[in-house]
Amino acid sequence: MKRLIPLVFGLGISATAALAIPPLREVTQVREGLITAGMAIELGDNCDDVSVRLIRGLNYLSSLKSQARDLGYSDDQIESYVDDRAEKARLEEIARARLAELGVVAGQGETYCTVAKAQISQDTAVGRLLR
């Protein structure tokens, strides 16, 4: 019986810790990583002079998933977050607003190219996902 008490107590702590994790949308490194990826995709889609580095992008997204797992999120929780249409729209809006702050003007392709090339030359997280 004495051996079971620490085991049960340990399981109780693990369950409590699992319940205490915040929603994934509140995890800065995951949220910011998705915004960064979204910015790169938006630039790549709107500037013919650059493209998204697909393998690097997939590795980047995989690393975000690994970070979420390391923080205690299950694959189901991660997939649910990624598939949430409202959250996707919210993150896309943030990405577009940040691009606008950098000088992108919707519908003006040259502004996407200017920002994309600046991101590449400055070796930013967004720029590293582009070529």
The residues pairing with 52 across neighbouring beta strands, listed in sequence order, are: 130
The residues pairing with 130 across neighbouring beta strands, listed in sequence order, are: 52
The candidate with the shortest Cα–Cα distance to 99, out of 126, 122, 120, is 126
The candidate with the shortest Cα–Cα distance to 38, out of 62, 57, 63, is 57
Residue type, 81: Y
**The pair of three-digit structure tokens given for residue 78, joined into one six-digit string:** 């991660």
SS3 at position 25: helix
pLDDT one digit per residue (tens) for the chain, 131 residues: 455 444 444 444 444 445 589 999 999 999 999 999 999 999 999 999 999 999 999 999 999 999 999 999 999 999 999 999 999 999 999 999 999 999 999 999 999 999 999 999 999 999 999 99
* Residue 15, pLDDT score: 46
Determine the Cα–Cα distance for residues 130 and 53; give it in Å rounded to an integer. 5
* Residue 3, pLDDT score: 52
**What's the pTM value of the predicted model, to 2 decimals?**
0.82
* Residue 11, pLDDT score: 45
